[in-house]
Structure 1
Amino acid sequence: MAAGIGVMMYTVLDQARADLEGTLARLAGMGYLGIETYGLVEHFGPARVRDAIAAAGLTLTSAHTPFPAGSRAEELLDANEELGAEVLVWSMEREEFDSPDAIRRGVERVNEAAERAAGRGMRIAYHNHFAEFSQEFAGKRAYDLLLELLDERVLVELDAYWTVMGGADPADVLAGLGERARFVHVKDGPAVSYEDDVMVPIGEGGIDWARTLSAPSGLRWHIVELERLHVDTFEALRRSYDHLVGRGLSRGAFVPAPTEERA
């Protein structure tokens, strides 16, 4: 069975902060099954976000939130426990992939977070950008070194778009990750510039999603994230849903009618 389709809430952060319940209801009405939170708990508090997700009939796939390590660890864990999050997702910084030693130091923070989260019945997932794949040391990709050092309890959320920009094939990466890969961020566009790329609806860019999403892996969720757009955000999300669910790549609340029937 295809993985469920969700939305990374950064995509509609402004809209959600203006109308949380209305935005979630609109996503559910399009057929999306779940959401990954970003920037909502800090704005509304965990209880309201949790209740709004439930009221919309959506599933909380994961929470995109800093690693619960260091001085803020308990505060972050408290908020996400109240939210009802089972998996907390975050990244290391780009400069932490400048050397093997920098990677090792960064991983200490992630592994601390994994240990603390486990004490609350939660798990950590690692979300990549492009440096993990563009950097190599003695013939080994930084990402592979990262995986070797991470606590085995740490799951993976693969951002396929940044993987491509880092010079790797997300289908091959997913196949190599196996069951550890539980989430994939689905975005489309030119895959040229981390700072300047403008995204397009899924299926209208250059990434081969049929190959990527059919790779054998443990994926449970395909999470659409469209960071910068030149078209209406909800229109882009609708077109993305139609592409992914209409072609059987992702599982949604319903299968969209063919384009000619909707016209």
Structure 2
Amino acid sequence: MAKIGLQLYTVRDQLEQDFEGTLRKVAALGYQGVEFHTFFGRTAEEVKALLDELGLEILGTHVAYQRLVDHLDEEIAYHKAVGNKYLVVPYLTEEERQWSEVFDNLAKIGTALKEAGLVLCYHNHEFELTEELDGKPVFDVMYETVSADVLQVEMDTCWVHYGGYDPVEYIARYTGRLPIIHLKDMSRNEEGNAVTVELGKGEVNLSAIADAAVGAGVDWIVVEQDHCANPPIQSIETSIQWIKEYANQGGQVNV
């Protein structure tokens, strides 16, 4: 049964202003785990002690690609100390998208993490679906090129949808290599660009995605909202309420 987490980027401003208080609110809302994007200068021991107190698991951390290339030993030490298993490449700038070099580096980083007992994942946006290599989406070429032994999938299902593909199909395609998904909803502005909204407020078929993720054996379904029109704490409360309603209707998630 999949557990429910929150990507803390959603409440980044609140976390920066009140790290402990924001995590307490996240735990009180019923999220079981959190995915960090930064630790705001806290030591691994400070973070672990607070999470243990709140009963929150650290389900993963987004770590900048160049940081993993240049300072991998430091990241390994920190994440082993904080109790985090999954290190996730969150985004590549246009300048970083030298794909042959990226694939080589992901293989090297993933191998080093595996030797340390950790796991490398990659988190997609839409460009990995819309940009092609050899007639295939970069998303697929990446995972064909880099072995599953050293690179797992953190699928942002909303960006798969926005990229023009069926998230349910993509989840099925990567079953067995997919420990984490991001569950995110979106609408579109007048220009047709994605606008992230609370779960259940947009166009994404969330129930079908969650069903597929559970069927694929994911460990974590992670709520994320890149930008919130409403106060972020209110937004994450609305989203976990959707999750609870989904569970009440038979969804196989822990809430």
TM-score of the aligned structures, taking structure 1 as reference length: 0.86
1:149 aligned partner: 145
Amino acid paired to 1:46: A
Q: Normalising to structure 2: TM-score of the pair?
A: 0.89
Give the secondary-structure state (helix, strand or coil) at the position aligned to 1:161. Answer: helix
Question: Which structure 1 segments of 5+ residues have no match?
Answer: 254-263
1:135-214 equivalent positions in 2, closer than 5 A: 135-153=131-149, 154-190=151-187, 197-214=194-211
- Partner Cα separation in structure 2 for residue 173 and residue 192 of structure 1: 25
Is contact 1:31–1:252 with CA below 8 Å preserved after alignment?
no
User: Percent identical across equivalent pairs?
Assistant: 26
Do the aligned partners of residues 107 and 8 (structure 1) sit closer, same or farther apart at CA in structure 2, a change above 3 Å counting? Answer: same
| Number of aligned residue pairs | 246
What does residue 55 of structure 2 align with? 57
Q: How far off is 1:198 after superposition?
A: 3.4
Alpha-carbon contact 2:64-2:91 (below 8 Å) kept: no
**Any conservation in 2 of the 1:188–1:200 contact (CA below 8 Å)?**
yes
1:236 corresponds in structure 2 to: 235
- C-alpha deviation, 1:94, in angstroms: 5.0
| Aligned pairs (5 A) from 1:117-128 | 117-128=113-124
**Inter-partner Cα distance in structure 2 for 1:107 and 1:128:** 14
Q: Check conservation: 1:96, 1:103, Cα contact below 8 A.
A: no
Change (3 A) 1:112 1:192: farther
> Is 1:131 the counterpart of 2:133 in the alignment?
no
Q: What letter is aligned with 2:125? A: H
SS of the residue corresponding to residue 185 of structure 1 reads strand
Question: Is the strand fraction higher in 1 or 2?
Answer: 2
Q: What is the identity, as a one-letter code, of the residue corresponding to 1:207?
A: V
Contact 1:10–1:227, Cα closer than 8 Å, also in 2:
yes
Distance 1:111 1:133 in 2: 20
* Separation of aligned partners in 2, 1:155 and 1:167: 22
Q: Does 1:48 align with 2:42?
A: no
Mapped to 1, the partners of 2:180 and 2:20 lie a distance apart of 24
> CA–CA distance in 2 between the matches of 1:191 and 1:237?
20
Distance 1:137 1:120, change over 3 A: closer
Q: Do the aligned residues in 2 keep the contact of 1:162 with 1:191 (CA within 8 Å)?
A: no
Contact preservation (8 Å) 1:69, 1:110: no
Residue 222 of structure 1 and its aligned partner are, at CA, apart by: 0.8
